[in-house]
Amino acid sequence: MSAPAGRDLRLDLFRGLALWLIFLDHIPANIVNWLTIRNYGFSDAAEIFVFISGYTAAFVYGRTMEQRGVVVASARILKRAWTVYIAHIFIFVIFMAEIAYLTRSIDNPLYNEEMGALDFMKEPGDTLIQALLLKFKPTFMDVLPLYIVLLIGFPPVLWLLRKAPTLALLASVALYTVSWNLGWNLPSYPTGVWYFNPLTWQLIFVFGAWCGLGGVTRLGPFVRSRWVLGLAAAYLLFSFLIVMTWYFPRLAVHIPKWFQDWMYPIDKTNMDVLRFAHFIALAIVTVRFIPVDWPGLKSAWLKPMILCGQHSLEIFCLGIFLSFLGHFVTSEFSRSMGMQVLISVLGILVMIGVAWLITWYKDIEGKGSGKQPKPSDADLAGGGA
Amino acid sequence: MRRIAGLTLGILAYAVAAHAGSLCDVAAHLVHADAALPRVADSIAKSKALKIVVIGTTSSTLPGANGEALAYPARLEIALRKKLPEVNVKVISLAKPRQTAADMAEGVAKILRDEKPALVIWQTGTYDAMHGIGAENFQTTLEGAVDKLQAGGADVIFMNMQYSPRTEAVISTTPYADAIRWVALEHAVNVFDRQAIMRHWGELGTFDLVTATKSLDTATKVHDCFGSMLAGLIVEALARDADAPKEPTKQ
C-alpha cells in the first residue's frame, strides 16, 4: 500500500466491492450471492468494510486533528456518528413498513410460528424505543450500529494513535482479548447481545486506522516478503478447503476430530481470530497483485465500483433498501433464477447510478456556492459506515 | 456451487420423482446420515422397541382438530413402522409453542426420566432466532443438552428451522442453522436439514410456500414428507451402525 500522503484508490475500489457484496449477501436465496467471498473463506465483506472505514477515518480525521486540533477533529467525528445514526433510523422505518406489509400477507398454517414473530416485532412502542437506543436491530441492520459505536469511541483512539501508534494498537488487542475471554458485549432487545460485538470488532477498525496513519509503511517489508505471501496464500487455501466441508458435509469426516474441536466455532459476533487472519491474508495477497499505481484503477471498467466506494454511507443504506426490495420482488412475483440475476444486476446498476448522481451533485454544489471545492479527500471522510 | 450441483441433482430427482409420484423425493439428496445411531440400534437389538420423543415448537405441530395426526411426528411413526415392521415404534411429540432451546434443554432430564427415549428429535432454532437469543448462547445450550441426552441413553437428531420465504429477510436464521451444524459435527449427531429441503422445494416449485392460504393442504403434504424422510434418515443411520458395529460412541 502507499504511504498515507496520497489518495489510494484501492480503498474506494474495495469498499465499493464490499458494498456490492453486502447488497448481494442481504438478498436471501439469491443465486448470485454464491459468488461472494463469504462462501470461499472465513471472513466476508464485513471485515473489508470495517477495515477500510477505520483506515479512511484515521486518514481524514487524523489530518484534521493535525491542522485544526483535537477538539475540531473530535467534533467532526461525532457529527459523522450522528449522520450515520440518522441513516440507521431511516432504514429502520423502511424495515418496519415491510413488516407491516408482511404480517398481512403471510397467512399460512405452515408458518404459524414465523407469523407469531412478526406480531412481536410490530409492537410499535417498545420496539421503537429499543431501536432508538440501538438495542433492537432487525436482521441485516447490525453494521451501522457497530459503526456508530466505533465512531463515538474514535476521538481518544485517534489521539493516542497519533501520539503512540504501537501503544494504541496494543490497547486495542488487549480490549479484544479481554472482551473475548470474559464474554463482554453490549445488550440487545429483547434478549441477547449485539451481532457485531463492538468490543471485539474494534480491533479491525483500529488496525485499519493504524495502517491509515502510516502503519502500512512500517509493515511494507513484511508484507513484501515472499515467505509472508506464501503463508498468506496457504492460509487462504486452507480456509477455502474448510469452508467447502460446510457445503459438502460428507467431506467433513476428513477433518480430524481434535482439529474440529480446536477450530470450531468460528465466531462472527466476536470476529474470531481465524476470520481476522483470513482478512489479513486476503489483504496481503491483494496488495501484492494490485499495487497502488495499478493502471486498472484508472480504467473506465472499475470506475463504477470506485464511485460507490466513495459514497459509502449513502450507497450502503441504498444497498440495504434495495436488498429489502429485491427480496420483496422475488418472494412476491418470481423466484426464478433469471429474476434473481436480474435483481442483482439491476440493484448494482442503481447503486452505481446514485453514486454517480451524488458525485455530480457535490460537484455543482462545490462550484455553485462560490467556495473552493472541497478537497476530494472529504469524500473519503464521507466514507465510513 | 452446492446450489448448482444440488439443482442438477434436483432436476434429475424431480424427473424420477414425477414418475414415482412422490414429491418428497425431489429433495431426497439433502437427507443423509452423517452419524450412526448406536443407542437406537441397542434398543432395537435388546427389546425390539424404539421410543422416539420429538421436542420442538409450533413448527412441529399443525393447527386444527386433526393437527396432531397430520403433523410430522405422527407421520414419522407410521412411516417408520412400515420400514421397520418387526420393531415396536412409538413417537411422542412434546412440541410446545414459544420455547427457546434453553427452555427445552431444561426439560431434558425430566424427559429422560419419564419417557426413556432411545432417540430425541430436537427441532429448534426458529424461536431463538426471532428473539435474538444470540447464536453463541444457543450453541452452548445445545452442546450441554446433547451431552446430557447422550449420557442418558438417547441419540439425537437435530431438525433446523423451516425455510420461510416471506420472513427470511426479517428473521436471520443462518447463524442458528450454523450453530446446529457445528454442534452436530462435534457430537456426531445427525441433522435433518429442514431448511435446505424446503428451500429446494420452494425453488423448484414442488410446493407453494408463498401464497397466503387458510388451507392445511400444502402444510399436510409437507409434514407427511418430513415424516417419511425422517424415517429414511433413521434407517440409513441404522445401516451405518450395522456397517461399523464396533464404532466407539462419541460422548
Domain B30-243, what fold?
A: Rossmann fold (3.40.50)
Q: Count of CB atoms within 10 A of residue B75's CB?
A: 22
Q: Taking CB atoms and an 8 Å cutoff, what residues of chain B touch A95?
A: 170
| pLDDT at B247 (0 to 100) | 44
User: Per-residue pLDDT tens for A166-197?
Assistant: 999 999 999 999 999 998 999 887 777 888 99
Handedness of CA B107, B108, B113, B116 (dihedral sign): positive
CB-based contact A269 B135, cutoff 8 Å: yes
Closest CA to A308 of A49, A38, A26, A37: A49
CB atoms within 10 A of CB A67: 9
Q: What is the pLDDT of residue B15?
A: 45
Are A327 and B169 within 8 A, CB to CB? yes
Q: Is A262 on the interface with B (CB under 8 A)?
A: no
H/E stretch holding B218: helix B217-243
Instruction: State the alpha helices, DSSP H only, in chain A.
Output: 9-25, 45-68, 70-105, 112-121, 124-132, 143-152, 154-163, 165-182, 198-210, 216-224, 226-247, 257-263, 273-289, 303-310, 312-332, 337-368, 377-381
pLDDT, one tens digit per residue, over A134-165 is 888 877 788 999 999 999 999 999 999 999 99
Which triple of cell numbers denotes residue A143?
A: 453494521
| B74 membership: H or E segment, kind and range | helix B72-83
- At A368 the pLDDT is 62
What is the predicted pLDDT for the residue at A120? 63
Q: What pLDDT is recorded for position A190?
A: 72
A347-351 LR contacts (CB < 8 Å, sep 24+): A347/A23, A347/A24, A347/A27, A347/A319, A347/A322, A347/A323, A348/A20, A348/A23, A350/A318, A350/A322, A351/A19, A351/A20, A351/A23, A351/A308, A351/A315, A351/A318, A351/A319, A351/A322
Collect the ranges in chain B with pLDDT lower than 50: 1-2, 10, 12-21, 245-251
Q: A117 to chain B, minimum CA–CA distance in Å?
A: 6
Pairwise CB contact (< 8 Å): B64 & A109: yes
Residues of chain A contacting residue B139, judged by C-beta atoms under 8 Å apart: 265
Q: Do B181 and A246 touch (CB under 8 A)?
A: yes
| Of residues A27, A192, A328, nearest to B133 (C-beta) | A192
**Which pLDDT belongs to residue A53?**
95
Write out pLDDT tens, residues A274-283: 999 999 999 9
In this prediction, residue A5 carries a pLDDT of: 47
CB contact under 8 A, A113 and B126: yes
A106 touches chain B (CB under 8 A): yes
Q: Name the residue ranges covered by the structural domains of chain B.
A: 30-243
- Closest to A352 measured CA to CA, from A327, A380, A300, A315: A315
Q: Residue B133: list chain A partners with CB under 8 A.
A: 191-192
Burial B1-13, CB ≥16 within 10 A → b, else e:
eebeebbebbeeb
Residue A122's pLDDT is what? 62
**A45 has a pLDDT exceeding 60:** yes
- Residue window 32-61, chain A: list those with CB within 8 Å of chain B: 34, 39
A193 touches chain B (CB under 8 A): yes
ipTM exceeding the 0.95 mark: no
Single-letter amino acid code for the residue at B238: L
The model's pLDDT over A309-347, given as tens digits with 9 standing for 90+, comes to: 999 999 999 998 898 888 888 777 777 788 889 999 999
The shortest CB-CB distance from B210 to any of A99, A247, A331 is to: A331
What are the grid coordinates assigned to A192, written together? 441477547
Can you give the pLDDT at residue B4? 55
Cβ–Cβ of B210/A249 closer than 8 Å?
A: no
Quick one: pLDDT at residue A383? 44
Is the predicted pLDDT of residue A224 greater than 90, yes or no?
Answer: no
Distance from CA of B13 to the nearest CA of A (A): 18
Report chain B residues whose CB lies below 8 A from the CB of A268.
175
* pLDDT value, residue B209: 87
Return the residue in A113, A244, A320, A343 with the most chain B beta carbons within 10 A, the one to mutate for interface testing. Answer: A113
Closest-CA residue to B103 (of B59, B52, B141): B141
Predicted confidence at residue A304, as pLDDT, reads 95
| Residue A382: pLDDT over 50 | no
